[in-house]
Each structure stands twice: as structure tokens, then as C-alpha cells.
Amino acid sequence: MIFQLSEILPELPDNWTQIAISLVALAAAAWIADWIASRFLHRLLARVTRRTRSTWDDRIVEHKVIHRLAQVVPALVIFVGIGPALGIADAVAGGANPEPLLLAWTFVRRVAAAWIAVAVVRALAAFLDAVNDIYKEASPLSKSRPIKGYLQVVALIAYLAAGVVVISILAGLSPVVFLSGVGALAAVLMLVFRDTILSLVASVQIASNDMIRIGDWVSVPQASTDGDVIDIALHTVKIQNWDKTISTIPTHKFISESFKNWRGMSESGGRRIKRSLRLDMNTVRFLDEAQIEELSRRELLHDHMHDMRERVERYNAAKAEGNPGVIPEIRRLTNLGTFRVYVQKYLEAHPKTHKEMTVLARQLAPGPQGVPIEVYCFSNDTAWANYEGFQADIFDHLIAVLPEFGLRPFQSPAGTDFTKAMGGGAVSGPAQKAATPVSETSPVGSATRVSNPSPEG
């Protein structure tokens, strides 16, 4: 019901000045109550919590639970004192028309009650945030069993309930009236809260199956995300990529789509190295006696070469006793096979190789880009920088040792290779002329090898 100002003013009581003074006094009392509750009491509790050894009370103060709950006090003072301030009882007893006062009394009480409901639910939400921080600090299971998503569900339900209560208070109706219409709006609510329902179910499955934890390294190809999990909430999972950007992925995506969790690698203590070194097949050949003697002197191949020579000699001796008119198919050592054994021994002896995991050097199928020798092992250091350094050291050494086995790595021809094939030399220009001595008796432009070139060239 809407009253015009002209209709209200004539009906004001005669003691309106006393009512105005009472309202000012009520406002002052509410302000004093708010100051005592939200400032004085809050500061007092903050000082007390700083002196205690426990941390749970510090988290409650940090999230301003008491401060938000203190906002109930001034609203409660107004809710209780608005009746006496307006003199409702005296107006009714004196026979005056109390309708304007009753209207003001009802409106103020409803607003105060609605404010109390809002303050309580905000304090509850802050308390739930504090509970999450306390759980993360006190429980070692906080990374594998986060409860932030469940607490957010409780907070969401509390906000929905508070919304129903506030509307019912302001409308002057029972909350049951609004709740009875929820059934008719179920389809709309399912549509509006679709992501929340999916995320809630996903959070339960993630927690029960221990799929991801805070601190896990995960890769989500569909979202171009690769990094550490820094937060698991009801609706989203935050991942800090290696370039320090933050990716936010819906929680239910970890149930509906595939992703890779590297936690198993971190917990195992070994990180896999799987990389191939491609060799030129034109350099594969049998070893002669001089090469066998030279390679037998290497520490990693000494025992292997000794055993293999005995086996080959016994096998070939048995073959020699056959038909003298037939050339026997004897066994001979190859530089490629010996190199593969060397790689195996080198990996097994390396101090940074995880000895309890697979250590393997194998030959893959030859192809247009040569014959691959694959290194398959695990580093005992899972840190990214250390792992990459170990992997690089392995292949630096293997590439450098190839000439000792008479092998050459395969690589696609570069521009200098075509220049060589055309007779132009590997490098042209002043640098090449200064680096290559020229004989006085040779044709101009033809380079000859000299044992001791002069500094002047």
C-alpha cells in the first residue's frame, strides 16, 4: 500500500518531536553497538589470537568472521528498539491512528531482519573459507583430499537459503510459500545450476579416485595446458603453466576429457629418457683385428670383447670342420653392434641413471634417415633442469665417440654439403682463404696440405 505524503503528514501523532528524538537515539545506540562489536571487539580478539600458539584462530580473524558476524548487533538493536522509539504501544493505548507508525515499524523491522540474515550467511561463508585454510595447514591429506569444493557447495546452499529467507521476510510471507514453488521451477534450476551440479559430481569423483592434487604436474592437451595444479575449487581447477601463465579449466572437464598426471613419475624417483641417435648405414662394417684390439682396451668393452672373441672363435672353429668346398658362414663383430653394447654399458655405469628401472639401448628398424639406436633409461633426478642436462650429456658423449667405432651420424644435407658436391668447398670467403694455406707450385685456388704453415699463410 502506497501512501502519499499529504495523506501521512496530517495523521502524524502530536508527539512527533519526541519520536524523532527517540529515532536519533536509536541510531546512535546502533552505531555505538556496531563500533563496540566490529571495531573494539574485533581488535581485542586479534590481539588475543596473535598471542596464542595455535593458528586456527588466526585464520578466523584473517577472514573477518567475527567482523561480519558483528554486523548482526546493530541490526538487532534496531529490530528490538524500533517499537519503543516509535511509541507504538502508547499510540495504540491513546486511541490515535497508529497506521503510519505501524507501517514504518513493519518496514524497519523487516529490513533489519533481512540484514541479520545476510550478515549471518556472509559470516558463515567467511568461516568456511577459514576452515579450508585450517584444513590445508593442519592435515597432510589436504593436497590429495581437498575440501574446498565441498565447502563451496555448503556456502552456495547457505546463500540460496538466505535469499529465500530475505525475500520471505521483506514480503511478509512464510518461506514455505517460496519453497513450495521450487518444484515447479526444478527444470529452470537444473538449467541454471548445470555447471554447479556437474562440478560437484566431478569433485566427488576426483577426490574419491585421487585423480589430481594441489602441486601435481598435469598436461591437458585440449586446453593447451601443461603445468602445476595450484588450486582445486568447486567450479574450476587452476593450473600454472611453465611460462607462468594461469589456465582455468572447469572441474568437470577432468572427468569428461583425458589428461595426463605426472605425479607417478615424481613419486617413482625416475624420469624416462627415450631418444634415438640415427646413424649412417654406409658406415656400418665388420671390425678387423686392429679395431677389435683397440676397442678391447676400453674399460666398458673389455670384458664384453673378450667374451665375444671367444664365442666367435669357437663358433668359427666348428664351422671350419665342415665341407671344405663350401665357404662357411662365420660370425664377425660389427662396429654397430659393438657400439650398441657400448651404449648399454655406458648407461649402466653412469651415476645418474636409475639402476632399479629399465636401462636399454636398442636398435630400431632402419629407414630413409639411417638406422636408429634408441636410448631408453630413467634419470634418478626428476628435476626438469637436471634431467635435461643429463639427457644432453648422454648424447653429447655418444655423438663424440662415434668416430672411434667408425660410425657417422645421419643428418639431412645442408647448404655446405651441396657446395662441397659442386666443388666449391665447405666455406667460401676471406675466412677460408686465411685458414687454408696455398702452395706456391700449385695452381691458383687449389689448396694443399702443409705440415707447418706460416702465420702469414
Q: What is the DSSP string of 365-416?
A: --BTTBEEEEEEEEES---HHHHHHHHHHHHHHHHHHGGGGT--B-----HH
pLDDT at 62 over 60: yes
CA dist., res. 30 & res. 56, Å (int): 31
The predicted structure's pLDDT at residue 5:
44
Quick: pLDDT tens for 346-397. 999 999 999 999 999 999 999 999 999 999 999 999 888 999 999 999 999 9
Residue 33 three-state SS = helix
pLDDT at 12 over 60: no
pLDDT at 428 over 60: no
The predicted structure's pLDDT at residue 6:
47
CA 257 to chain centre: 16
In single-letter form, the type of residue at position 214 comes to: I
CA 197 to chain centre: 23
Quick: pLDDT tens for 245-292. 999 999 888 888 889 998 888 888 899 999 999 999 999 999 998 999
CB 437 within 8 A of CB 453: yes
Band of the pLDDT at 147, cuts 50, 70, 90?
confident
Band of the pLDDT at 183, cuts 50, 70, 90?
low
Nearest-CA neighbor of 234 among 128, 141, 318, 328? 128
The predicted structure's pLDDT at residue 441:
33
The CB density around residue 339, as the number of other CB atoms within 10 Å, is 25
Which pairing describes strands 236-241 and 246-250: parallel, antiparallel, or unpaired?
Answer: antiparallel
pLDDT at 153 over 90: no
The predicted structure's pLDDT at residue 447:
34
pLDDT at 426 over 60: no
Quick: pLDDT tens for 193-238. 777 888 888 887 887 778 888 889 999 998 899 999 998 888 889 9
Percent of the chain whose pLDDT exceeds 70: 82
Where on the phi/psi map is residue 280: left (φ > 0), alpha (ψ -120 to 50), or beta?
Answer: beta
Q: What is the mean pLDDT of residues 132-159?
A: 80
Q: What is the pTM of this model?
A: 0.54
The predicted structure's pLDDT at residue 322:
66
**Residue 373 exposure: Cα atoms within 13 Å on the Cβ side:** 25
